[in-house]
Amino acid sequence: SQRTLVLLKPDAVRRGLIGEIIGRIESKAGWTIRALELRDLDRVTLEQHYAEHEGRPFYDPLMEFMASGPSVVLVVEGERVIEGVRALAGPTDPIAAAPGSIRGDFGTIVRENLIHASDSEESAERELKIFFPDFT
């Protein structure tokens, strides 16, 4: 099975949606939470995580937002969990996200879209190393 890196972003934590979002992930058959922590994400971690977006117009406000309060950092393991959490989250723009998805149910602002989930096996491997370097 697969492992994926999930972040409940600062807006989700501020709005009291940790339980709601983790509940949806936990409810999926056979998926297991392997690590879980409330964490202030430092600049170095965020620069590594969002390296692909450096130079984009939304990069600086995104970094500021991601440092604006603690996130919940999770490792989730299970069958097709990489594709699966992305499907639960919905598309990046919450207004384009269908009701029933996390972003579609709770989001309105593209930057403040509640959740991050690795988008491929390669991304998951890279991101798990950034956030949990000692995790095996």
Residue 78 Cβ vs ligand GTP, minimum distance, rounded to whole Å: 18
Q: Six-digit token pair at 47?
A: 């620069």
Alpha carbon distance 31, 122 (integer Å): 20
Question: How many residues make contact with ligand GTP (CB under 6 A)?
Answer: 10
With CB under 6 A as the contact rule, the residue among 18, 35, 110, 130 that binds ligand GTP is: 110
| 20 near ligand GTP, rule: CB under 6 A | no
With CB under 6 A as the contact rule, the residue among 73, 81, 117, 124 that binds ligand GTP is: 117
Name all contacts of 120-129 with Cβ < 8 Å and 24+ positions apart: 120/82, 121/2, 121/82, 124/2, 124/3, 124/4, 124/5, 124/82, 127/5, 127/49, 128/3, 128/5, 128/75
User: Which residues form the catalytic set?
Assistant: 116
With CB under 6 A as the contact rule, the residue among 62, 63, 81, 85 that binds ligand GTP is: 62
Q: Six-digit token pair at 69?
A: 């309060």
Which residues contact ligand GTP (rule: CB under 6 A)? 53, 58, 62, 92, 110-111, 113, 116-117, 119
- Binding-site residue positions: 9, 58, 86, 92, 103, 113
